[in-house]
């Protein structure tokens, strides 16, 4: 019984070491900043927004030109938003969430 406990303990240590090694090699996602919709509109006009993905007409995931990820919510329908994004050369895509 003593040898079985030693083997189990050894395999547990090996598994923990492998998990920690592999977790260091996984790509880490960049942090996502939450910005107000007002700040998002200012960022568009300043030309700092690179791309956005609009989900269900409410949620906007975006990337700034300095590769900062951000998230904002559209509080009310904004029919001029698409024109502003196109005007300031922002790459726009949409995503329907089921």
CATH of the domain at 84: 3.30.720.210
User: Is residue 25 a part of any domain in this protein?
Assistant: no
**pLDDT reading at 14 higher than 80:** yes
pTM of the model: 0.66
In a 10 Å sphere around its CB, with 0-12 CB exposed, 13-18 middle and 19+ buried, how is residue 62 labelled?
A: buried
Alpha helix segments (H runs only) across the chain = 2-25, 37-46, 81-87
- Stretch 53-77: mean pLDDT: 92
Any domain includes 20: no
Q: Is residue 62 part of a domain?
A: yes
Q: Which domain holds residue 78?
A: 32-95
Question: pLDDT at residue 79 above 80?
Answer: yes
pLDDT tens-digit readout, 31-50:
788 999 999 999 999 999 99
- Whether 21 is in a domain gets the answer no
* pLDDT band with cut points at 50, 70 and 90 for residue 16: confident
Q: What is the mean pLDDT of residues 54-80?
A: 92
Look at residue 83 and tell me if it is in a domain: yes
């Amino acid at each position: 019984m003593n040898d079985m406990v030693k083997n189990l303990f050894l395999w547990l240590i090996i598994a923990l070491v492998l998990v920690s090694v592999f977790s260091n090699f996984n790509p880490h996602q960049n942090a996502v900043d939450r910005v107000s919709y007002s700040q998002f509109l200012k960022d568009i006009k300043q030309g700092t927004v690179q791309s956005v993905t609009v989900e269900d007409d409410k949620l906007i995931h975006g990337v700034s030109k300095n590769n900062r990820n951000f998230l904002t919510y559209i509080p009310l329908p904004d029919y001029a938003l698409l024109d502003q994004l196109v005007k300031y050369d922002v790459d726009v895509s949409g995503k329907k969430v089921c």
